[in-house]
């Protein structure tokens, strides 16, 4: 059997960032992009530059940071979006503009309020406009699986005639079934001869839990590229999980007849980094990268695996880079061992970053028996998220009890100055947040959400707090980690306020 090579587009930083509550900072995207490059993805979709100045800067930074793969930026079918994407991709070695416009009657009528002819004209105009300035252009007819087939063909033909090199077929709402989706791909190839000269990609959502099955069915029907995300991150129920697509193609190339360029040994590292950066935990039973994916609980299974691992294992833990022999770091570990572990976890921090995170590691190692890789991920993230903060926590004191109103006294540093304020609140967290508002001189900040989770197990676990605040029509997320959950909450709130202050300063020029 001839084995085809399927290209992989990772859209964790674009569609994955549309996971509810997920926001990645520029430094976080750069670290993640470097890891995706090591993983061996063909294309990184780094963001949607026209959507915000932050996204534009993040795409710029990713375009500068990686050189071994294509960096793709998303645009609506409007010239302004293409201009923003071209600017952001300026330094990319292999740039790609990805234009999308819906092709389904539902989207055209209710969302876009456009006629079919207007939609075709917008596709022709923006694809040609992008192609004049960028070597690679991909076009996606959004909601393709709920579109009228003949109009879908017209839209794809229009994009190809205008110069698109790639066509991406999205199952935007995760509506298709595998047979139906494969049939759609086959019919498109048959109906549009020019499609055989283009890169045909698919982009499946998981609303019915069929995203991976649909993507693989499309590969069998001839698609040559799959858009997916690490850990299946993405809008609503998420996108097809990259690690599942890659390992299915790897383990079952005998029937699927295809492989990828992915270095599978980087999968677990990438998955853990994504979980840590996004603070979206991987469910234990998740295929390939879940904590239980390679554990054998029942006696019969354990016996079988000990006799011959193939009785119950279709792939080896080492195939995805699971190394059970990594030493745990603790308070006696030095800077060298720590920086080596950072490297093993896929983080490439500069000396300043290593110093800062090593300092935090030492503080935490003093309070915890063993510092796990998840803890280190949380420490690095907190650092990446807060690199350019205005306010820093100096000290806090909080009094609270069941017969008194909580009272917080906080000191924050802003450059050379330290500001102190006291504030009451409904509980210790509320009091601390009120004191921060007073120091920042803000009475317009609204707390949208507040979450706290234990990074690992045990009473000495690190607590990671995430907050979302809104002010002046925009929202900002913040995160903080500490073995003390009040401290992590305060740090998370300061982090969000810092982002809000920075965004407003930028707006004011």
Q: What are the residues binding Zn ion (CB under 5 A)?
A: 15
Size of the site for ligand KIV (CB under 6 A): 9
Segment near ligand KIV (CB under 6 A), from 168-176, 188-196, 437-445, 451-459?
168-176
Residue 42 found at the interface with ligand KIV (CB under 6 A):
no
Selection from ligand KIV, Zn ion, none that 140 binds (CB < 5 to 8 A by kind) is: ligand KIV
| Residue of the chain from 47, 54, 170, 238 that contacts ligand KIV (CB under 6 A) | 170
| Residue of the chain from 142, 157, 206, 243 that contacts ligand KIV (CB under 6 A) | 142
C-beta of 272: minimal distance to ligand KIV in Å? 25
Segment near ligand KIV (CB under 6 A), from 84-92, 167-175, 300-308, 359-367?
167-175
Residue 361 class from Cβ within 10 Å (0-12 exposed, 13-18 middle, 19+ buried)? buried
Q: What is the DSSP string of 256-283?
A: H-EEES--GGGHHHHHHHHHHHHT-PPP
- Cα distances from 165 to residues 14, 98, 101, 194, 473, in angstroms, run 21, 10, 16, 10, 39
Q: What is the DSSP string of 35-86?
A: HHHHHT-SEEEEE-GGG-HHHHHHHHHHHHH--SSEEEEEEESSHHHHHHHH
C-beta of 185: minimal distance to Zn ion in Å? 17
**Residue closest to Zn ion, measured at CB:** 15
H/E stretch holding 467: strand 463-471
Residue 488 found at the interface with ligand KIV (CB under 6 A):
no
Q: Do 499 and 478 contact (CB within 8 A), yes or no?
A: yes
Q: Do 462 and 380 contact (CB within 8 A), yes or no?
A: no
| Closer residue to Zn ion in complex, CB, 6/169 | 169
Residue 395 class from Cβ within 10 Å (0-12 exposed, 13-18 middle, 19+ buried)? exposed
Segment near ligand KIV (CB under 6 A), from 79-87, 166-174, 348-356, 417-425?
166-174
What's the gap between Cα 239 and its chain centre?
Answer: 11
C-beta of 55: minimal distance to Zn ion in Å? 16
| Closer residue to ligand KIV in complex, CB, 14/499 | 14
The dihedral through the CA atoms of 152, 157, 163, 168 has a sign that is positive
Q: How many C-beta neighbours within 10 Å does residue 196 have?
A: 10
Q: How many C-beta neighbours within 10 Å does residue 496 have?
A: 28
Residue 172 found at the interface with ligand KIV (CB under 6 A):
yes
Cα separation, 123 vs 421, in Å, equals 56
| Closer residue to Zn ion in complex, CB, 15/206 | 15
Bridge-based pairing of strands 463-471 and 43-47 is: unpaired
Residue 126 found at the interface with ligand KIV (CB under 6 A):
no
Q: Indicate the SS3 state at residue 329.
A: strand
Residue 100 found at the interface with ligand KIV (CB under 6 A):
yes
Residue 60 found at the interface with ligand KIV (CB under 6 A):
no
C-beta of 457: minimal distance to Zn ion in Å? 34
Cα separation, 180 vs 185, in Å, equals 9
C-beta of 362: minimal distance to Zn ion in Å? 42
C-beta of 69: minimal distance to ligand KIV in Å? 18
Selection from ligand KIV, Zn ion, none that 100 binds (CB < 5 to 8 A by kind) is: ligand KIV
C-beta of 122: minimal distance to ligand KIV in Å? 15
List the interface residues with ligand KIV, window 173-232 (CB under 6 A): 203, 205
Site residues (vs ligand KIV, CB under 6 A): 15, 100, 140, 142, 168, 170, 172, 203, 205
């Amino acid at each position: 059997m001839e084995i085809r090579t399927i290209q992989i587009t990772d859209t964790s930083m674009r569609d994955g960032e549309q996971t509810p509550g997920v926001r990645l900072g520029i430094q976080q995207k750069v670290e993640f992009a470097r890891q995706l490059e090591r993983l061996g993805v063909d294309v990184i979709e780094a963001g949607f530059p026209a959507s915000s100045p932050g996204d534009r800067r993040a795409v710029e930074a990713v375009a500068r940071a990686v050189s071994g793969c294509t960096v793709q930026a998303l645009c609506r079918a409007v010239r302004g979006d293409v201009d923003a994407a071209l600017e952001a991709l300026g330094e990319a070695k292999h740039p790609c503009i990805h234009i999308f416009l819906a092709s389904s009657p539902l989207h055209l009528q209710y969302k876009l309020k456009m006629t079919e002819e207007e939609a075709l004209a917008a596709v022709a105009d923006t694809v040609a406009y992008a192609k004049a300035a960028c070597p690679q252009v991909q076009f996606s007819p959004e909601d393709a699986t709920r579109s009228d087939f003949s109009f879908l063909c017209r839209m794809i033909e229009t994009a190809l005639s205008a110069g698109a090199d790639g066509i991406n077929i999205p199952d935007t709402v995760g509506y298709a079934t595998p047979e139906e989706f494969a049939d759609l791909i086959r019919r498109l190839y048959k109906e549009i001869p020019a499609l055989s000269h283009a890169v045909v990609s698919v982009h499946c959502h998981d609303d019915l839990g069929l995203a991976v099955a649909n993507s693989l069915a499309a590969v069998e029907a001839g698609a040559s590229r799959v858009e997916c995300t690490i850990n299946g991150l993405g809008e609503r129920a998420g996108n097809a999980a990259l690690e599942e697509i890659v390992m299915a193609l790897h383990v079952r190339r005998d029937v699927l007849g295809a492989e990828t360029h992915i270095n599978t040994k980087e999968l677990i590292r990438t998955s853990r980094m994504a979980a840590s950066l996004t603070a979206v935990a991987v469910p234990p039973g998740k295929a390939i990268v879940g904590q239980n994916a390679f554990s054998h609980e029942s006696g019969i299974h354990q016996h079988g695996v000990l006799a011959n691992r193939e009785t119950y294992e279709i792939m080896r833990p080492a195939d995805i880079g699971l190394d059970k022999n990594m030493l745990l770091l603790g308070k006696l570990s030095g800077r060298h061992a720590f920086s080596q572990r950072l490297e093993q976890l896929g983080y490439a921090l500069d000396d300043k970053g290593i110093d800062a995170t090593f300092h935090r590691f030492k503080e935490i190692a003093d309070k915890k028996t063993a510092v796990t890789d998840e803890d280190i991920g949380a420490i690095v993230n907190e650092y990446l998220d807060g690199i350019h903060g205005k306010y820093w926590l100096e000290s806090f004191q909080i009094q609270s009890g069941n017969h008194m109103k909580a009272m917080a006294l906080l000191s924050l540093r802003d450059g050379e100055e330290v500001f102190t304020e006291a504030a009451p609140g409904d509980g210790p967290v509320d009091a601390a947040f009120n004191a921060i508002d007073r120091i920042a001189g803000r009475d317009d900040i609204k707390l949208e959400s507040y979450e706290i989770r234990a990074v690992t197990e045990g009473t000495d676990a690190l607590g990671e707090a995430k907050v979302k605040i809104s002010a002046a029509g925009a929202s900002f997320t913040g995160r903080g980690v500490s073995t003390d959950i009040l401290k992590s909450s305060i740090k998370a709130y300061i982090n969000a306020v810092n982002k809000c202050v920075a965004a407003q300063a930028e707006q004011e020029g």
